[in-house]
Amino acid sequence: MKLHVQRFGEGADIVLLHGWGLHAEVWSDVAQQLAARFRVTLIDLPGHGRSASLQDYSLSRVAASIAEVAPPHAIWLGWSLGGMVAMHIATTLPSRVTALILVASTPQFVRDDDWRHAMDEAVLESFAQALQENHAQTVQRFLALQTRGAAQGQDTLRRLRNAVMQYPPHLDALRGGLAILRNTRLRPHLRKITWPVKIILGER
């Protein structure tokens, strides 16, 4: 399959993976700063931005397609769903990863009895139902949640909306991504991660 990849800068390799419903252009400001010290690789996840989608939209398939176009050794920086893809690559292809940076990401997005600081499954289910009715509006609602409470939130939201709607995500990728977030449990595999990990979380 064909994924949209951008590379620029010089230095050690760093791969940036965006979150659900977005595409790599949301990293543009960060990527330009990183390019002063790193060779940056930006990848649109399957079915997002300018990348083709997958018939079998599973975490393993998404991760395998990303690994095919990524540098052989890199720091991996993943936001939300992108962080889950990065964690999967880190635990299944450990030689490909030199460090891991997770932004608003977790090995399990859904709350259960022994994992309380996570999302109620009903929230993800409501997004899935809303996708059936109006997927463009659902993505807009998701973007608004990302900027809630932020300084200059309305300006940030406007920029995010303009960037995302330039290359709208495929509906099947949105459905598949939500299924990954709802069903994936990577916690049992975390002991396989032995290199440096930086976790960046927000108040909400």
Q: What is the pLDDT of residues 96-123, one digit of tens each?
A: 999 999 999 999 999 999 998 888 888 8
At 101, which helix (H) or strand (E)? strand 97-103
C-alpha closest to that of 61 among 177, 164, 193, 175 = 177
Taking residue 9's Cβ as centre, other Cβ atoms within 10 Å add up to: 18
- How far is the C-alpha of 99 from the C-alpha of 191, rounded, in Å? 14
At 163 the pLDDT is 78
pTM: 0.90
Q: What is the pLDDT of residues 20-76, one digit of tens each?
A: 988 999 898 899 999 999 999 999 999 999 999 998 899 999 999 999 999 999 999
Query: Predicted confidence band at 202 (pLDDT cuts at 50, 70, 90)?
Result: confident
